[in-house]
Amino acid sequence: MVEFIKGYMEQKKKEMDSINPEDVKQVVNVLFDAWKEGRQVFIFGNGGSASTASHFACDLAKGTLQKIYDPNEKRFRVISLTDNVAVMTAFANDVSYSDIFSQQLHNLVSEGDVVIAITGSGNSSNIIKGIEMAKRFKAKTIALLGFDGGKVKELVEHHILVKSDHYGRIEDCHLMLQHLISSYLHKKIKEFSAR
């Protein structure tokens, strides 16, 4: 058992080291610009990535705040598309499961907004359709990916790739990335607001 634990952690370190810091920097800059411009940010994913989407939305909405009780503080306008079960299941039932994110974006997204897909394989049809809808509305597109990035890698403007074929460790890294991004945005916003 100890060997399994050590092996998992050693492999995880290698996978974390595979992440390109320049890609992370680009994503932070896109999100910082969205915050400055008051753009909306939409995040989505399936399974474990759905919970990471919810977590990411929470951390952008609250974790980047400097003074939570300041009514004048500029805030991220962020929504996780995985959180409204009624809307997701309505679109899944009446259209198809492949359309649960694209149909929500059709209702909400505007040009210049930011759409973030979180996916291990990069090949899920509902993720692909969501990104295609975002592009149709000229939103900026980002993906957190695993494996070789799949089809989504070729569709988005910015991506962060975890070079791994193990879903659990990919999701571990994606969760770490969203914490890293949110933490850095908190710092960046603090410095910007102090000017």
Q: What is the structure's pLDDT at 194?
A: 85
Give the start-end residues of each E strand in 21-168: 40-45, 77-80, 114-118, 140-145, 158-161
Residues spanned by the domain of 124 = 2-193
Q: Is the pLDDT of residue 68 over 90?
A: no
pLDDT of 100-123, one tens digit each? 999 999 999 999 999 999 999 999
CATH of the domain at 187: 3.40.50.10490
Q: Is the pLDDT of residue 195 over 90?
A: no
Average pLDDT value for the chain = 97
- Give the sign of the dihedral formed by CA 12, CA 17, CA 23, CA 28: positive
Domains held by the chain: number: 1
Predicted confidence band of residue 143 (pLDDT cuts 50, 70, 90): very high
| 24 within 8 A of 59, measured Cβ to Cβ | no
